[in-house]
Chains A and B, each alone.
Chain A
Amino acid sequence: MSAAAAEFPPDQLLFTGYSPGSFYDELIAPNGEPRPCAARMYEQLASMPLDIFEERRKLADLSYLVQGITFTVYSDGRGTERLFPFDLVPRIIPRSEWDVIERGLAQRVMALNLYLQDIYGAQRILKDRIIPRHLVFSCKHFRREMVGLNVPRDIYVHISGIDLVRDSRTGQYLVLEDNARSPSGISYVLENRLVMRRTFPRAFETSEVMPVDHYPSELARILRSLSPRTGERPVVVLLTPGLYNSAYFEHCFLAQEMGIELVEGRDLVVVDDVVYMKTIHGLTRVDVIYRRVDDDFLDPLAFRAGSLVGVPGLINAYRAGNIGLANAIGTGVADDKAIYAYVPAFIKYYLGEDPILQNVETYLCSDPQHLCYVLDHLPELVVKAVGESGGYGMLMGPSADKKTIEEFRHRLNADPRNYIAQPVIPLSRVPSFDPAIGGMSPRHVDLRPYCLYDGEKVTIVPGGLTRVALQRGSLVVNSSQGGGSKDTWVLRGDE
């Protein structure tokens, strides 16, 4: 028996004393009984002795360590590698619920692509005054160079990750933000599933869980379709900033799963507007780049001079139509947090449909009336910088101290266009193992599904990445703030 288990009463089980509390619990109904979707999983976990659970937990951790699925923390000067904490209790989504999410996401991805096509093309939406011109053109990630340029097959966002949360008050899923540049995390979805299958093989026998591992082949198919050369087997590569990027593991993982070359900027060279990679036997032509390098760093000649991770001349090759890029350049004008507020309007305007998934109520600080409200209610709101991602440049009003709030008040007044504010959403929760009590406690979660778009249809891997705030009471799921992840199950049926 493990040391941890020995501290607790021998008859204690994982769900002893568990209460879903006042938030929506994804697995347990308010009366303390498992929801239908979770019944089979609950049955197995509820009777599992603590020491066996502990043993499996250690096995799972070891498996991440041996595989080197770690992120690097540089704060101690030595570059210590840490595990991205993984919680063994899955988040389970019944099929009927997922079907709605899936349709809602597909609708949103279509609308975002039509919007980008329009903004870098005819700009009808501006002429029809659906969205203010100044809001679009003042986006940090708007790329003037892209206006009037034809991108392969008119697709801008091939790969997106759309963050969803479930509002405990209504039980409805809401879209929290769109990630239309280069969202990361899909490798955790696939690895988490792998580890879960090894750790709890029996759970997969009893619950009918939809598979996720077709993602790499679907992505590879879309990438190949972007090749400007026809008749030849396209050479597709994944461009990474390199080993010290926090998502490097994912870049390796995807390249390997797709069987394509993982390259760094220094491996590529542009000669006469054609991209080549340096091999041991000379130069080989490249047709498509899945780039995990931001626009700004992609080409030191076109954007940020001095970028070492980019490829000089790449943009000219792109303009000349000699290389396919995914995602296209300039997609940040679609996932800017101020533009986000207009996505429901895009859906209406371009598709003539009502949005299936709603937005979180959002105040644009560029609007003087909204700004006034936000400044009056800072301690109740979440404030976000519009062009940032990954939890940077954010104010959590309810948990911030006076000094931080005043600092943000100052920033908002100085540069209102750069900020939006939203009410704090009471996120739903999922039972998660708490070593301190040797049993389950509810913890807040969000959900990031990954969407692939091939120009005709949107393919979404069932589920996505469930991030969990492992600290008691915390609503922040980012890994830098003690967040972890869970395997996400979409069932073939509802139970």
Chain B
Amino acid sequence: MMLSRIADSLFWIGRYMERADNTARILDVNYHMLLEQPPNTYKLRWDPLIAVTGERARFYAAHQEASAQTAFEFLGFSEGNPNSIAQCIVNARENARTIRDRISRELWEDINSLYHRVTRMREQEEDLSRFCDAVKRGGHRFHGVCDATLARDEGWHFVQAGCVLERAEMTARILDVHYHQLLEGPRILNESRNHLWMAVLKSVAAFEFYKRQYGQIEPAKVAELLLLDARHPRSVRFNLSALQSSLYAISGSVPGTYANEAERLTGKLHESLTYARIEEIFAGGLHEFLQDLQQTCRSIGEEITGAYFHYSVVA
């Protein structure tokens, strides 16, 4: 038995924690990559980062230009940016506080400690790397504590569903924004281009895995790994598969069937990624494909909400 409101909070704890983690990753990797680039490219390269988070309009309302400092402030701390790392952690913690009777004491104390650690850091005094590191470690610990202390009931599956849906969408966004920039942005030396793809892989912790699988950096292979790989925990396909399992566990559906629109959309998208070839995707336009994919992820989120959290009761 699980209250709709509690399931809703668990789902969003998963999403917010994953969002904070991903944002810290792309912020950190970008920063380090740019340290080694010629200075005149700096300005250009912070803008796509803002775009990944989907907050360009809000950013340019507050800042004139995208620099390391303004991006760090905006993505790391800004109270005006609902998707800043600090705000994601505030929201995750607020959700956890509301349902602290339903999660393990360890999980609550872990999220609460992360909240206190992060909200006490200030951008003027903090080193970007240290900050991102604290958030990433927090993300890893979150998964570890969930794994080690939560019963594998519906609650667990709602946390999982939130995490993997968020991660699938974030990976698609990262790929979309960088691909767009690399192909259509200003001319960049080939050597730098390799560098940028390496940064993308590192931001999703897939660099070592890629090197072992493919060796040479090739944009199409990077896209293939991030979209279609069945084994890497940050590929879109991997996460959709996990999402499908969790949705089935919640509803009791068996493979090949679906109990609601969220399951149908997830199954359909997962199927298409399972049998797709990267060449076909490129032929149809990667950007268009990724846009559709992100839209489907948003629809899945809405359908989960409609099926489990906010349905109407006829009284």
Contacts and interface: CB of A to CB of B under 8 A. Distances in A.
A255 B101 contact: yes
Interface size class of A (residues with CB under 8 A): 20 to 34
Interface stretch (B34-42, B107-115, B224-232, B284-292): B107-115
Identify whether the interface residues of A are mostly helix, strand, loop, or mixed.
Answer: mixed
Nearest to A242: B98
Interface residues of B, number: 26
A170 interface: no
B1 A66 contact: no
Interface string A263-278: 1101101110000011
Given A280-B2, A280-B308, A68 B315 contact: no
Top 3 A-B pairs ranked by shortest CB distance?
A256-B101, A252-B101, A255-B101
A267 B309 CA distance: 10
A372 B203 CA distance: 79
A283 interface: yes
Contact of A271 (B100, B101, B315): B315
A195 to B, nearest CB: 14
B102 interface: yes
Contacts of B141: none
A252 B4 contact: no
B298 interface: no
A199 to B, nearest CB: 17
A279 B113 contact: no
B43 interface: no
Contact of B112 (A67, A264, A269, A271): A67
* Chain B facing A: main interface SS: helix
B123 interface: no
Contact of B116 (A65, A267, A281): A65
Nearest to B2: A280
8 contacts: A253-B101, A262-B99, A266-B5, A270-B315, A278-B3, A278-B5, A279-B3, A280-B2
Contacts of A243: 94, 97-98
A286 to B, nearest CB: 11
Interface of B: 1-5, 7, 94, 97-102, 105, 108-109, 112-113, 116, 154, 250, 308-309, 311, 313, 315
B3 A261 contact: yes
A44 interface: no
A150 interface: no
A284 interface: yes
Contacts of A271: 313, 315
A267 B4 contact: yes
A256 B109 CA distance: 15
Contacts of B5: 264, 266-267, 278
B112 A66 contact: yes
B99 to A, nearest CB: 8
Contacts of B94: 243
Contacts of A279: 1-4
B100 A252 contact: yes
B101 A66 contact: no
Interface in A428-445: none
Contacts of A283: 313
A216 to B, nearest CB: 12
Given A65-B116, A68-B112, A280 B7 contact: yes
Nearest to B315: A271
Interface centre among A65, A267, A277, A280 (most CB of B within 10 A): A280
A261 B1 contact: yes
Given A243-B98, A251-B101, 12 more contacts: A68-B108, A242-B98, A262-B102, A264-B5, A267-B5, A270-B315, A277-B3, A278-B313, A279-B2, A280-B4, A281-B2, A283-B313
Contacts of A252: 100-101
Interface in A278-296: 278-281, 283-284
Contacts of B113: 66
Nearest to B7: A280
